[in-house]
Amino acid sequence: MHKTDFDAIVVGSGPNGLAAAITLQQAGLSVLVLEAKPTIGGGLRSAELTLPGFVHDVCSAIHPLAINSPFFRTLPLADHGLTYIEPPLAAAHPFDDGTAAILTRSLDETARSLGADESAYLNLFKTLMDQWPRIDADVLGPLRFPSHPVDFARFGLNALPPSTWLARRFKAKQARGLWAGMAAHSIQPLSNLATSAMGLVLMLSAHVGGWPLPKGGSQQIANALASYFCSLGGQIETNCYVTSLAQLPSAKAVLFDVTPRQLLQIAGHRFSALYQWQLKRYRYGMGVFKIDWALDGPVPFTAEHCHQAGTVHLGNTLEEIAASEQWAARGHHPEKPYVLLAQQSRFDDTRVPAGKHTAWAYCHIPNGSEVDMTEAIEKQVERFAPGFRDRILARHTMNPAQMEAYNPNYIGGDINGGIIDIGQLFTRPALRWSPYRTSARGLYLCSSSTPPGGGVHGMCGYHAARRALKDVFGR
């Protein structure tokens, strides 16, 4: 049992909750983390979802933002059991003709692989890559005056336009398709403003720090964060589902790693009418349908480059991906969905029995949908990897409703904690001087529903904790 009084309590042990807890504990406070599930991690959990001995990542899988996080990289996580594995290629993007575009750690190698668009790629990314170490903390943070305004403005000029507009820089299908697959991580129509931001951040992350996977599963990131937090004197209690402030021990500050909908349920009565109104108007984006496979062998991709990539984007051309995402955003279910696939066991054999493999994939569909997309997703994999279905030993599926049941932060299957469009890019969840501060003194929001949004980087939690330290503790 924990003691009865703490300086601060963090509700939720996802990457943002743990980042907030660590930041507060590092400042010398006494901190308690409360987790509803039997295991910590939020979107960082791993489990044997299909067959014994096959370890699958339940939510997140590949972690470019974790290894490149301005906060996580300051922590001694390797000393707490975390080992990253970097595949030879960060990502591959196959086409119907059997070729594939690639994203590698090397900027020059990636550019050369794009043939006619080599110069265009270098012109776009070389300067941004040089500037990234100076602006990454500002990009992955709340709206504020940047420490390097000229560099930040140059990034913004490329990040704010729709990704379909920026794609005009490229002539051939290879660069255009590769770009579309990156930008589609924004989980919204590619014609939306600011969808270029996600593509730029992911590609810059590949060139700066890579797209690694944690050895043993994504759970290892959460375990390392928790181990470090506890080594500082912090406490964690699992199986504690918070539905009311009355459940909490006494504390000067409480930080919630939840979305606005849960925050209203827990503490809505403490908020001003205006803040309640703002939270109720918060918008959630498309959901995801996810499949995990236990396989008798690796995914038999036609394009050789796909065998070397931790992540494979399945969607063929920019035009096909853009149409798929637009169709899903309008409430339909694409016949040929854009599919994000990870093949962790190719590079980490600790997750599977000898000679066996796993694969992990999802597509975007309407929020809250219960439509089974198994057939559509497997057709897309088979399209680029003939014979794939013959290797399936077992599968585990999760539709958007099941994703939310598993993790209440995934409202309707929205894994980003709310749509990250131009209206909610920096002002999530409400237009306020600080997006982390609620209208009630001592209560803060530290989830992906605050800037910079979804992804395993911990920056939402870090910035929320810094806000609380200044407001409540005068640090």
End residue of a domain, out of 406, 427, 444: 406
Q: Residue 5's pLDDT is what?
A: 84
Do 97 and 207 have their domain in common? Answer: yes
Give the list of residues 6+ apart from residue 247 with CB closer than 8 angstroms, or none.
240
Residue 3, pLDDT score: 54
Does 444 lie in the same domain as 342? no
pLDDT (0 to 100) of residue 362: 98
pLDDT in tens, 385-438: 999 999 999 999 999 999 999 999 999 999 999 999 999 988 899 999 999 999
Concatenated DSSP letters of 159-184: HSS-HHHHGGG--SHHHHHHHHHHHG
Note whether 163 and 149 are same-domain residues. yes
Round the average pLDDT of the chain to a whole number and report it: 96
Which of 406, 423, 444 is a domain's end point? Answer: 406
The answer as to whether 355 is a domain residue is yes
Q: How confident is the model at residue 1 (pLDDT cuts 50, 70, 90)?
A: very low
**Are 102 and 206 members of one domain?**
yes
- Written as six digits, the tokens of 385 are 């990897």
- Looking at the structure, tell me whether residues 67 and 150 fall in a common domain: no
Pair (207, 299) in one structural domain: yes
Q: State pLDDT tens for residues 117-149.
A: 999 999 999 999 999 999 999 999 998 889 999
CB 278 within 8 A of CB 58: no
pLDDT, residue 345, reads 98
The answer as to whether 266 is a domain residue is yes
- When pLDDT is cut at 50, 70 and 90, the band that residue 4 belongs to is low
The answer to whether residue 143 is domain-embedded is yes
Element (H, E) at 395: strand 392-398
Examine residue 152 and state whether it is found in any structural domain, yes or no.
yes
Q: Does one domain contain both 199 and 317?
A: yes
Q: What is the CATH number of the domain that holds 166?
A: 3.90.660
Q: Which residues of 353-365 are buried (b: 16+ CB within 10 A; e: fewer)?
A: eeebbbbbbbbbb
Q: Distance between CA 260 and CA 419 in Å, rounded? A: 12
For residues 186 and 103, state if they share a domain: yes
What is the token pair recorded at 116? Answer: 């006619």
Cα separation, 461 vs 449, in Å, equals 11
Q: Which of 5 and 357 is assigned the larger pLDDT?
A: 357
Any idea what the CATH number is for the domain that residue 463 is in?
Answer: 3.50.50.60
Whether 115 maps to a domain, the answer reads yes
Q: Which of 243, 235, 226 is nearest to 36 (CA)?
A: 243
Residue 119 and residue 107 share a domain:
yes
Domain stop point among 355, 384, 406: 406
Give domain status of residue 51, yes or no: no
Residue 55 lies in a domain: no
Please tell me whether residue 261 adopts helix, strand or coil conformation. Answer: helix
Domain count, the chain: 2
102 with 227, same domain: the answer is: no
**Residue 373 counted as domain residue:** yes
Residue 198 carries which side chain, given as an amino acid letter? M
Q: Does 13 share its domain with 145?
A: no
- The reply to whether 381 and 356 lie within a common domain is yes
Is residue 418 a contact partner of residue 262, using CB atoms and an 8 Å limit?
A: no
Residues in contact with 406: Cβ distance below 8 Å, sequence separation at least 6, in sequence order? 58, 398
Residue 450 structural domain = 5-46+63-82+214-283+413-473
